[in-house]
Amino acid sequence: MNFHHVPVLLQETLEYLKPVPGEIYVDGTLGGGGHSLEILKRIYPSGRLIGIDRDPASIQAASARLIEYSNSFLGIHGNYVDIRNILSELGIITVDGVLLDLGVSSYQLDTPNRGFSYHEDAPLDMRMDTTQDLSAYDLVNGSSQVELSRIIWEYGEERWSKRIAEFIVKNRPIKTTVQLVEVIKKAVPAAARRGGHHPARRTFQALRIAVNQELSLLEEAVRNAVEVLKPGGRLCIISFHSLEDRIVKNIFRSLKEPCTCPPDAPICICKKMPVVDIITRKPVVPKEEEISTNMRARSSKLRVCRKR
Ligand SMILES: C[S@@+](CC[C@H](N)C(=O)[O-])C[C@H]1O[C@@H](n2cnc3c(N)ncnc32)[C@H](O)[C@@H]1O
């Protein structure tokens, strides 16, 4: 299997995680194991890295790539939202660091039959976890027009969401990515397309987020990841679009300032104490050099917090 994925913001992530021999890490988005490999090199031989991915193909590819470190590495097919249960089943209570590198891998995007790409003809699938039932086909062909419009607007910020939803419903059943692209092209006026991104880009992003419940799981996942950190442990999150980054920013803030007392209250009565310190006041973005060699990095943002 040719699992090609260049890890994004790798040096920056390592600088914040600062892995040293003997430490325990969780890579909640193992992918091709690019970040994990560099963490393993630094914690080996006495440290441990648990790599979680919801895509069985990632576990297989990363386990082969990291074979040299198999005494320290364990790959688990699962969802990062379940990090607490996954660790407790392994008898691990707390860890030194957690990494979440959100979204899809280049491998998933570039494997035509996964149905993530609007450049390739494939069945409408878009499941990161190929054992999951719900696919893009089900959403596109089974959702109401109102629901489709909501998904495309909320998760794609697509201003033509209503018209795209209307055209999708009129043209059902839609079985392949190319059929969907054609319907979207009919729905989005030619004048609105000139010079911009591909007209299907936002709708494909929206469907992918909905199929994989990417945003609805994120808040719970961040809170669970913070819970498993040791005092001083770091959580690094790399996001790729503003919807994800906003969620991460807001949860970090609410973990740093959890007090729910009215602003004019003379003393705090809710007694909710800060759980983390935010290490990156502003998100860390890739250097020009990285963007020039890896286009996928261009929209990436890294935010880091440390458990108190
Ligand atoms: C951007 S890639 C990670 C790439 C990896 N850092 C590397 O260097 O190769 C994101 C990965 O996270 C996985 N993923 C996305 N959401 C997930 C979730 N909720 N639970 C577990 N894995 C998830 C995807 O299947 C994908 O393989």
Q: Summarize pLDDT for 131-181 with one digit per residue, the tens.
A: 999 999 999 999 999 999 999 999 999 999 999 999 999 999 999 999 999
Supply the pLDDT for residue 2. 65
Segments making up each domain of the chain, as ranges: 10-107+216-307, 130-211
- The reply to whether ligand 1 has any atom less than 6 angstroms from the CB of 217 is yes
How many A from CA of 61 to the centre of ligand 1?
Answer: 13
Which tokens is 268 given? 């705090």
Query: Looking at domain 130-211, which CATH architecture does it have?
Result: Orthogonal Bundle (1.10)
| Atom in ligand 1 nearest the alpha carbon of residue 79 | 20
Phi-psi map region of 245: left, alpha, beta (phi>0 left; psi -120 to 50 alpha): alpha
Q: Collapsing DSSP states into helix, strand and coil, what is residue 27?
A: strand
How many A from CA of 51 to the centre of ligand 1?
Answer: 10
- The reply to whether ligand 1 has any atom less than 6 angstroms from the CB of 51 is no
Q: Summarize pLDDT for 21-79 with one digit per residue, the tens.
A: 999 999 999 999 999 999 999 999 999 999 999 999 999 999 999 999 999 999 999 99
pLDDT at 195 over 70: no
CA distances to 86, 167, 193, 198, 307 from 148, in Å: 34, 11, 21, 19, 39
Mean pLDDT estimate for the chain: 96
Q: Find where tokens 């939803």 sit.
A: 165
Q: Do domains 10-107+216-307 and 130-211 have the same CATH topology?
A: no
How many A from CA of 31 to the centre of ligand 1?
Answer: 5
Supply the pLDDT for residue 212. 97
pLDDT at 301 over 70: yes
Q: Summarize pLDDT for 203-229 with one digit per residue, the tens.
A: 999 999 999 999 999 999 999 999 999
**10-107+216-307 to CATH, choices 3.20.20.70, 3.40.50.150, 1.10.10.10, 1.10.287.130:** 3.40.50.150
Q: Which residue has the higher pLDDT, 196 or 78?
A: 78
* Buried b or exposed e, range 60-87, using 16+ CB within 10 angstroms: ebbbebbeebeebbebbbbbbbbbeebb
How many A from CA of 194 to the centre of ligand 1?
Answer: 33
Supply the pLDDT for residue 194. 67
Number of H helices, E strands in the chain: 14, 7
* Count of beta carbons in the 10 Å neighbourhood of residue 125: 16
| Atom in ligand 1 nearest the alpha carbon of residue 34 | 8
CA distances to 53, 182, 216, 219 from 248, in Å: 19, 34, 12, 7
